[in-house]
Amino acid sequence: MTLTDFQNGQLILIDKPLEWTSFQVVNKVRWLIKKQFGIKKIKVGHAGTLDPLATGLLILCTGKFTKRIETYQAQQKEYTGTFTLGATTPSYDLETEINQEFDISEITQQEILDATQQFIGKIKQKPPVFSALKKDGKRLYEYARSGEEVEVPSREVEISAFDISEIKLPEIKFRVVCSKGTYIRSLAHDFGKALNNGAYLSELRRTKIGDYDVENAMSIEEFEKKLKD
């Protein structure tokens, strides 16, 4: 690919590594392009944040394609991952320590399978307080980390598929297809509540955005090699 290609607009599918922020991936790709072509500036943006503890598909847009970011962000997403039953955390995932534990000995496989049904379709969901959403000009996680109480309004999201692929308690493996703005961490938390129990998200991978599949995505190392070829 030439510099002109990147300036006119390229779509780069990256398989985000664990513990990287989406912003770090954008910065790294931008730096690699600038270094390769000896330039000082190139526009690069991502179409939909993935939490540091998640892996999977991140769509990056360069040059003129950055104007299309919202189009990709609005598309349906598919995720796979693991809920851990029997405990909750304040962040609804592994970012924070367990704050409550529950007995799971009475929960049946059928109850777990049945519980998915109440989340299919349009539902009201509260985003996690440990999220990058803004309230009064401040990110929610800033309130949470400083111990401030903050009311997070619920919003409508749509879940078109919620499948349980394996149950090995306390772990439940799942696949979810959902609209923009759906928090899988919140789904984990609410799923625990639906079972009169607790749950948190222990693993997450984004596998699709619209028609784009993580199987066609590159690692950052593969992108760097491709640039040099």
The residue from 5, 15, 51, 190 that is catalytic is: 51
Both structure tokens of 102: 């529950």
What gap in Å lies between CA 84 and CA 198, rounded to an integer? 8
Residue type, 153: P
Q: Which residues contact 177 (CB under 8 A, 6 or more apart)?
A: 76, 77, 78, 159, 160, 161, 162, 208
Q: Catalytic annotation on 51?
A: yes
Half-sphere exposure of 129 (CA within 13 A, CB side): 15
Give which of 18, 169, 143 is closest to 90, Cα–Cα.
Answer: 143
- Catalytic positions, please? 51
